[in-house]
Amino acid sequence: MTSVSETPSITTRSAIEEFLFHEAGLIDRWRLEEWLDLFTLDCTYEVPATDHPDADPGLTWSLIHDGRTMLEQRVIRLKKPEAHAEFPHSQTSRIVGNVQILDETDESISVTANFIIHRAKAGKFDTYVGRYEYELVPRNSSFLIRRKRAVLAHDMLDPQGKISFII
């Protein structure tokens, strides 16, 4: 006998893609307060180290490992002129693709997607490539982000070794 959920899934890849494209647009347009509103209060945002992308962030170093409070502080800091690394702001254009729903329960949806981010700043152009891993929580007719993990497919960063914008 096959088990069938009494609550049929209404999540479609198209709905997830639309949400991720919306998120990408908010970041590219530096609408970071609105981007922050996409996260739950118990969220995490992580960019693991490039040499240990699958390491436990609680046990090792990460490029970024923010809970909600740190993420709010990051947004406030990025919007200030004193944030020299991002003033004037980078111009970014990101492409999100290969979106896949990995798992879905009544409470959350695990999603992965690939990204390419083109960044222009001070006459220099950089490209960042990798994959996103999300835990999304259905809310009304959309989603909130409980966990976002941006895994860079780089074996190293530029000589400064830092990321001064939202991946």
pLDDT at 159: 55
Give the pairing of strands 39-48 and 62-67.
Answer: antiparallel
Q: Does any domain span residue 157?
A: no
Q: Does any domain span residue 6?
A: no
Radius of gyration of the chain, Cα coordinates, nearest whole angstrom: 17
Q: Does any domain span residue 165?
A: no
Q: Does any domain span residue 8?
A: no
Residue listed under structure tokens 């200030």: 80
Q: How many domains does the chain have?
A: 1
Q: Does any domain span residue 166?
A: no
pLDDT at 75: 94
Tokens read off for 70: 């740190």
Strands, sheet with 39-48, edge to edge from the N-terminal-most edge strand: 62-67, 39-48, 142-152, 124-139, 109-121, 91-104
pLDDT digits 0-9 by tens, 118-131: 999 888 898 999 99
pLDDT at 69: 97
pLDDT at 46: 96
Q: Does any domain span residue 82?
A: yes
Element (DSSP H or E) covering residue 77: helix 68-79
Q: Does any domain span residue 158?
A: no
> Which domain does 74 fall in, by range?
13-152
> Across the chain, what does the average pLDDT equal?
88
pLDDT digits 0-9 by tens, 36-72: 999 999 999 999 988 888 888 788 888 899 999 999 9
Domain of 64, CATH number, reads 3.10.450.50
- Enter the pTM of the model: 0.88
Range with lowest mean pLDDT among 31-45, 72-86, 88-102, 137-151: 72-86
pLDDT-derived band at 4, boundaries 50, 70, 90: very low
Q: Does any domain span residue 78?
A: yes
